Amino acid sequence: MEISSEQRGNLLVVVPQGKRLEAATATHFKSTMVDFVNNGATRIVLDLSQVDFVDSSGLGSIVSILKTLGEEGELVLCGISQTVMSLFKLTRLDRIFRIFPTADEAVASFSGA
Amino acid sequence: MKPDKEEIARVERIIQQLLTSGVPEEMILAQLESFGRGFPAAQVLRPCTLGDGVIAIAESEREELLAIYMQAARQGRAMKFVPASGAATRMFKSLSALANRHPPLDRDGLENGVAAEDADCKAGTIFFASLERFAFYDELKNFLKAAALDLETLRQEGQCAKILHFLLRPEGLNYGNLPKGLITFHQYPEGNRTPLEEHLAEAVIYTADADGLARIHFTVSPEHLQTVETHIQKAVTRSRQAGITLEPSFSTQKPSSVTIAVDADNEPFRTESDLLVFRPAGHGALLSNLNDLQGDIVFIKNIDNVVPDHLKADTSLYKRLLGGLLVRLQGRIFAFLKGINSGTADNAFCLELAAFAKQWLNLATPADFTKKPWEEQAAHWFALLNRPLRVCGMVRNQGEPGGGPFWVLDGDTPSVQIVEKAQIDLALPDQQAAFSAATHFNPVDLVCGLRDYLGNPFHLPDYVNPDTGFITAKSKDGMELKAMELPGLWNGSMAYWNTVFVEVPLSTFNPVKTVNDLLRPEHQP
């Protein structure tokens, strides 16, 4: 899965380009995200607008990145499709993340924080 | 918003639960959508009756059908498929309820209960009065003896709770927790038999090939697989000593054969710790096991529907007759399909085919269809005939619960189906009337043709009607929940098969639903 990223001020906006974040792609996704964190990213916007589906492995990898960021970092999400949101609700992921419709709104939420 | 560690841990537990459930996430979402949308009730037109959806095999046809079947069996085409994962819990439901009573149940308690019209006590009274007539009597007696107890002394003293304890609990025979297939059903001088062993004996009678090899497949729950395999292996060894070769195989219901439960608002039902609740999806999940077998002629029969050897004649006769009819029909169907494929089909061919399809497969010719070019007719018939075939025994309705054979409307196409009571909207007068008029019911006595005219196995999931699942109300920890059953194995899972219903005698249907059913003459030596 190709993963693009863009630095916006002190924020990193990450956009996975694959349609499915699942067992086959979650490991690569997670290791790429961990690399970002190890290279100093602490405030990350994960833009899932290109992703149609996330399975349990993919959901687990997102939680894992949240834990890697620790107390000082923050991970917010945006661009979540209806199907993916259903899975977030099923697993209560929607209760542990701030979720925004678009990347711009997610970025703006940091400046207003 | 900073989630605390406990919140994150809770999410991780739910994700882990999804992973271990084995149910694909897309399937869970589809199930949640189905809860919201609901399943349409079956549109029953009328019950299938003799001459209208149910046929009888004439005495004059028997010899031919038996010969046709025996030839196919000798070629090694036949095998049995027995869903055997069911627990004996329901069989011992009344006795388990009595075993759990406080203070511990004695004879007085039992008699008082009978006087108060207590159904469990009534069942218990019959059980204790006839204890020595159960095939597991000696087993229980010997177990108690090893524990320095005497069964007859306990019985005379009216120590009901103690006897039930040693019958049902792990400290004793553990019958309350075993699969039904491992309960000793029938007495024989050379050694008593469980239903698993009776099915092996049946398999030898009508599935053995020219080399005497009989094939049988059991579906078993994962936790009992080892015990069942060991039990069967002993029986296989005994059979080998008697010159019979049995080839048993096993599969377990897949972990993914569960469905998610929801609350009254169709939101996922949650436990106190916020976990999801999954429930067994019914016998429809076994379609996957049946498909994996890649079988040819496969007999399906329930684990608890067995009789001792001296009563097997009717059962084996009708199994072979049903098998013979299946093979004969396959012969006609395959010839038609090859005819269509060869391009030699013409109008006369299509007319002959249409007559056959109507007479034997309950397939009607669409209105004005015969005016269409024969090529179009041939393509239509090819699609309809090139499907798995089942010949299902049906017995005369004796008021037994369960499904039966009905004419059902799917879109604008009538077809014959096995429909369960739960699939019918009995609040509608016409549906209630159709249900009440049923003359036959389904004893689960099927023979299935699972290969096409080229000998290739059909991919069975292609012939399921997904709209034939149903939703039932249950409770968990005092809370109401809604559970979903997938289309039943012989119901919606075979909805788009070709189906033939044949009347079979009641003597072929001897289910053991409660322990006291074993006292019926047909289960006694």
3-state secondary structure B135-167: CCHHHHHHHHHHCCCCHHHHHHCCCHHHHHHHH
Chain A residue at shortest CA distance from B5: A67
**What tokens were used for B237?**
């060894």
Alpha carbon of B16: minimum distance to chain A alpha carbons (Å):
8
Tell me if chain A has a CB within 8 Å of the CB of B274.
yes
What amino acid occupies position A90? L
CA-wise closest residue to B466 among B442, B447, B485, B444 = B485
Task: Kindly state the average pLDDT of the residues A81-104.
Answer: 96
Nearest CA in chain B to A99: B1
Report the residue of chain A nearest B20, measured CA to CA.
Answer: A56
Q: Which amino acid is at B32?
A: L
Neighbouring residues of A80: CB distance < 8 A, sequence distance ≥ 6: A48, A49, A88, A99
Q: Do A60 and B7 touch (CB under 8 A)?
A: no
Cβ-in-10-Å burial (0-12, 13-18, 19+) of B132 comes to exposed
Q: How far is A53 from chain B (nearest CA, A)?
A: 9
- b/e code B486-501 from CB counts within 10 Å (16+ = b): bbbbbbbbbbbbbbbb
Cβ-based neighbour number of residue B61 at 10 Å: 14
Residue of B nearest to A92 (CA): B11
CB spacing of A60 vs B12 below 8 angstroms: yes
Residue A57 to residue B19, Cβ atoms within 8 A: yes
Please indicate whether, in this complex, the C-beta atoms of B26 and A98 are within 8 angstroms of each other: no
Identify the CA nearest to B49 among candidates B440, B476, B388, B491: B440
Alpha-carbon span B486 to B109, nearest angstrom? 42
Nearest chain A residue to B277 by CA distance is A90
- Chain B: closest CA distance from residue A60 (Å): 7
Of A53, A63, A98, the CB nearest to B15: A63
Give B492's DSSP letter: G
Contact A83 B274 (CB under 8 A): no
Predicted local distance difference test score (pLDDT) of residue A105 = 96
- Residue B35 identity: F
Residue of B nearest to A22 (CA): B25
Please tell me the predicted confidence (pLDDT) of residue B301: 96
Distance from CA of A6 to the nearest CA of B (A): 23
With tokens 């991780």, the residue in question is B12
Whether B1 sits inside 8 A of A98 (CB atoms) is yes
The torsion region of residue A79 among left (phi > 0), alpha (psi -120 to 50) and beta comes to left
Residue type for B287, please? Answer: L
Strand, coil or helix: what is B94?
helix
The overall pTM is greater than 0.90: no
CA nearest B33 in A: which residue?
A: A86
Q: Using alpha carbons only, how large is chain A's radius of gyration in Å?
A: 13
ipTM value greater than 0.90: yes
Q: Which residues of chain B have pLDDT under 50?
A: none
**CB under 8 A, 24+ apart: contacts of B342-349:** B345/B374, B345/B375, B345/B378, B346/B374, B347/B374, B349/B374, B349/B378
Residue B19 and residue A56: Cβ atoms within 8 Å? yes
> What is the C-alpha to C-alpha distance for residues B19 and A55, in angstroms, rounded to an integer?
9
pLDDT at B344: 81
Those of residues 5-24 in B touching chain A at CB distance below 8 A are: 7-8, 10-12, 14-16, 18-19, 24
Nearest to B18 among A67, A91, A98 (CB): A91
The set of residues, in sequence order, having a beta carbon less than 8 Å from that of B396 and lying 6+ positions away, is B439, B440, B503, B506
What residue of A is the nearest CA neighbor of B16? A56
Q: Which of A53, A63, A90 sits opposite B8 (nearest CB)?
A: A63
Nearest in space to A50 (alpha carbons), one of A26, A98, A27, A16: A16
Q: B111 and chain A: CB distance < 8 Å anywhere?
A: no
Q: What is the mean pLDDT of residues A16-27?
A: 94
* Residues B96 and B81: beta-carbon distance below 8 Å: no
Contact list in B for residue A56 (CB cut-off 8 A) is 15, 18-19, 25
Q: Measure the CA–CA gap between B353 and B453, rounded to whole angstroms.
A: 16
Backbone angles phi, psi at B493, to 5 degrees: -70, -20
With CB atoms and an 8 Å threshold, state whether B3 touches A66. yes
Contact criterion met (CB < 8 Å) for A91 and B268? no
Question: E strand or H helix at B391, and its extent?
Answer: strand B389-396
And the tokens for B407? 């004419």
Q: Could you write out the DSSP letters of every residue in A37-77?
A: HHTT--EEEEE-TT--EE-HHHHHHHHHHHHHHTTT-EEEE
Interface test with B, best of A20, A56, A110 (most B CBs within 10 A): A56
Which position has the higher pLDDT, A3 or B238? A3
Tokens standing for B118?
């207590």
User: How high does pLDDT run on average in chain B?
Assistant: 93
Task: Note the pLDDT of residue B353.
Answer: 92
Instruction: Test B8 with A90 for CB contact under 8 angstroms.
Output: no
Q: Which of A53, A66, A91 sits opposite B14 (nearest CB)?
A: A91
Mean pLDDT of the A32-41 span: 95
pLDDT on residue A113: 47
Testing the interface with B: which of A69, A91, A94 to mutate, by most B Cβ within 10 A?
A91
B315-361 residue pLDDT tens: 999 999 999 999 999 999 999 999 999 988 788 888 899 999 999 99
Chain A contact present for B32, CB below 8 A: yes
CA distance B480 to chain A (A): 19
B103 phi and psi angles, rounded to 5 deg: -65, 165
What's the gap in Å between the CA of A94 and the closest CA on chain B? 10
Nearest to B8 among A66, A74, A87 (CB): A66
A 10 A CB-CB count for B64 gives 12
Q: Quote the pLDDT of residue B401.
A: 62
Q: How close B1 comes to chain A (CA, Å)?
A: 7
CB–CB of B181/B193 below 8 Å? no
Task: Tell me the count of A-B CB pairs closer than 8 A.
Answer: 58
